[in-house]
Amino acid sequence: MSAPGLVIFDCDGVLVDSEPISMRELTRAINAVDVEMSEREVSTVYAGGTLEAIQRDVSLRRGGPLPSGWIDDFYSARAEAFARELRPVAGARETVEAVQRLGWETCIASQARVVKMEQTLVLTDLADLFPPERVFSATMVRRPKPAPDLFVHAARECGWEPDACIVVEDSVTGVRGARAAGMRVLGYAARNRPEDEAMMLSAAGAQIVRDMREVPGRVAV
């Protein structure tokens, strides 16, 4: 019996609860080079973006190039914080396993580098759910989210057409990319997050889920 389709999971904020840690450490790094931004502002402006684009924007706000090694120092501080604090998103494992039991194939498509995903998935005991050939990074395509390239690439590599794919995302950037690829999108907006996040995901074209454990039921519809 063939699978009904492919469920594509984002990683940060969907499977691993890394976004609060990443935004906190990014805020520290930005303020350390005399660019004053609050953590809320950093999250609003940069969530879902690539670090290369973030680095360019911070340079513009600073009015000049960033110190040598700035991005490497951020990577190091974030990795140390992940090792101390990182946890899976509540219900992430049971959600992926339930989707797989329903017969759907699964993969990951993230803006993050593969090495970062390897670290976060191991730290959260989720690595066994996704073999390496089912982990896709924006570094593998020409244009990152919100372009559709990464989602189209992931679907193609897994042997599926876009209309047979469902994407689980937590950022407007990701939702726009998935919709541009012609895919249905479930937008994860945890109940403890600001209500405007759910509104923005919905406006971008996502069907909202407030608990990751709602995903299998939505997929089965």
Question: What gap in Å lies between CA 87 and CA 104, rounded to an integer?
Answer: 25
Domain ranges of the chain: 6-17+87-220, 19-85
Question: What CATH topology corresponds to 19-85?
Answer: DNA polymerase; domain 1 (1.10.150)
Residue 108 has, within 13 A of its CA and on its CB side, a CA count of 30
Instruction: Give residue 161's identity as a one-letter amino acid code.
Output: E
Helix (H, G, I), strand (E, B) or coil at 195: helix
Question: What gap in Å lies between CA 183 and CA 56, rounded to an integer?
Answer: 30
Q: What is the pLDDT along the chain (221 residues), one digit of tens a residue?
A: 478 999 999 999 999 999 899 999 999 999 999 999 999 999 889 887 888 889 999 999 999 999 999 999 999 999 999 999 999 999 999 999 999 999 999 999 999 999 999 999 999 999 999 999 999 999 999 999 999 999 999 999 999 999 999 999 999 999 999 999 999 999 999 888 778 889 999 999 999 999 999 999 999 87
Question: What CATH topology corresponds to 6-17+87-220?
Answer: Rossmann fold (3.40.50)
Residues 6+ positions from 5 with CB-CB distance below 8 Å: 104, 105, 160, 164, 165, 166
Quick check: 49 and 173 in contact, CB under 8 A? yes
